[in-house]
Chain A
Amino acid sequence: MSVLKIALAKGRLAKQAMSLFKQVGIECPELFSDTRKLILYNQDKSIAFFLVKAGDVPTYVDYGAADIGIVGKDSLLEEQRHLYEVLDLQFGKCRMVVAGPEEMTEDQFKNPSIRVGTKYPQIAKTFFHHQKNHKVEIIKLTGSVELAPIVGLSELIVDIVETGTTLKENNLVIMETITDLSARMVVNRVSMKMKQQPIEKLINDLTDVLAKSSNKKE
Chain B
Amino acid sequence: MLLHTLEGFQDVHAEAAWHHRKIQEKITDVFYHYGYHMVTTPLVEPYLMYHHSNHIDEKNKLFKLIDSDGSIIALRPDFTPSIARYAATYLTERRPYLKVAYAGNVYQHSRPGEFRERAQVGVECIGMTGKAIEIELLLMALRSLLSVGLKGFRLELGHAAFFKTLIQLTGIDDCVVSSEIYEAINHKNTLGLQLLLSRLNISPQLKEVIVQLPTLFGDVSVLQRAEDLLDTIPDNSLVDKAKMSLTNLREIHHLLAKDQLEHYISFDLCSAGESQYYSGLIFRGYAYGSGHPILNGGRYDDLLEQFGTKKPAIGFAILVDELIDVLFRQDRAISCPPQPALLVYPLNDSLTALYLAEGLRRQGQAITLVDEEMLSVKAMTNNNEGREEVIIKEVINQRLKEKQSVYRLKAGQLAKYYLTDNSQTDYQIVEIEQMIVDGRLLSEEIKVDVPLESEG
A-side residues, CB < 8 A to B, are 2, 61-65, 82-88, 187-194, 196
Contact = CB atoms under 8 A, between A and B. Distances in A.
A65 B187 CA distance: 19
B266 interface: yes
A198 B152 CA distance: 17
Contact of A85 (B152, B187, B288, B293): B187
Nearest to A79: B111
Give 3 nearest A-B pairs by CB, closest first. Answer: A64-B291, A84-B188, A85-B189
Contacts of B124: none
B286 interface: yes
Interface of A is mostly: mixed
B31 interface: no
Contacts of A82: 187
Given A64-B291, A65-B291, A193 B268 contact: yes
Nearest to B271: A189
B156 interface: yes
Interface residues of B, number: 21
Interface string B262-284: 00001010000000000000000
Contact of B292 (A86, A189, A193): A189
Nearest to A187: B188
A83 B187 CA distance: 6
Given A84-B188, A85-B192, A193 B156 contact: yes
B204 interface: no
Nearest to A87: B191
B291 A63 contact: yes
A8 B76 CA distance: 39
20 contacts: A64-B290, A64-B292, A84-B189, A85-B189, A85-B192, A86-B189, A87-B191, A88-B191, A189-B291, A190-B286, A190-B287, A190-B291, A190-B293, A191-B291, A193-B268, A193-B286, A194-B286, A194-B288, A196-B217, A196-B218
Contacts, number: 51
Interface in B206-255: 217-218
Contacts of A187: 188
A86 B291 contact: no
A79 to B, nearest CB: 9
Contacts of B352: none
A88 B189 CA distance: 9
Contacts of A190: 286-287, 290-293
B190 interface: yes
B154 interface: yes
Nearest to B188: A84
A84 B184 CA distance: 9
Given A84-B189, A192-B217, 9 more contacts: A63-B291, A63-B292, A64-B291, A64-B292, A86-B189, A190-B291, A192-B188, A193-B268, A194-B152
A193 B271 CA distance: 12
Contact of B154 (A62, A63, A84, A193): A193
A196 B268 CA distance: 12
Contacts of A87: 191
A193 B290 contact: no
A191 B152 CA distance: 12
A62 B291 contact: yes
Nearest to B329: A64
B187, B218, B268, B293 interface centre (most CB from chain A within 10 Å):
B187
Contacts of B293: 189-190
A61, A82, A86, A187 interface centre (most CB from chain B within 10 Å):
A86
A88 B191 CA distance: 7
Nearest to A63: B291
B158 to A, nearest CB: 11
A126 to B, nearest CB: 12
Contacts of B154: 193-194
A63, A85, A188, A191 interface centre (most CB from chain B within 10 Å):
A85
B291 A193 contact: no
A82, A88, A194 interface centre (most CB from chain B within 10 Å):
A194
A125 to B, nearest CB: 14
Contacts of B191: 87-88
A170 to B, nearest CB: 33
B288 A84 contact: no
A96 to B, nearest CB: 16
Nearest to B217: A193
Given A190-B293, A194-B154, A196-B218, A2 B189 contact: no
Nearest to A60: B291
Contacts of A65: 291
B388 to A, nearest CB: 48
Nearest to B219: A196
A2 B288 contact: yes
Nearest to A197: B218
A191 B266 CA distance: 13
A62 B218 CA distance: 20
Contacts of A64: 289-292
Contacts of B266: 193
Contacts of B288: 2, 194
A86 B189 CA distance: 5
A187 B189 CA distance: 11
Nearest to B288: A194
Nearest to A186: B187
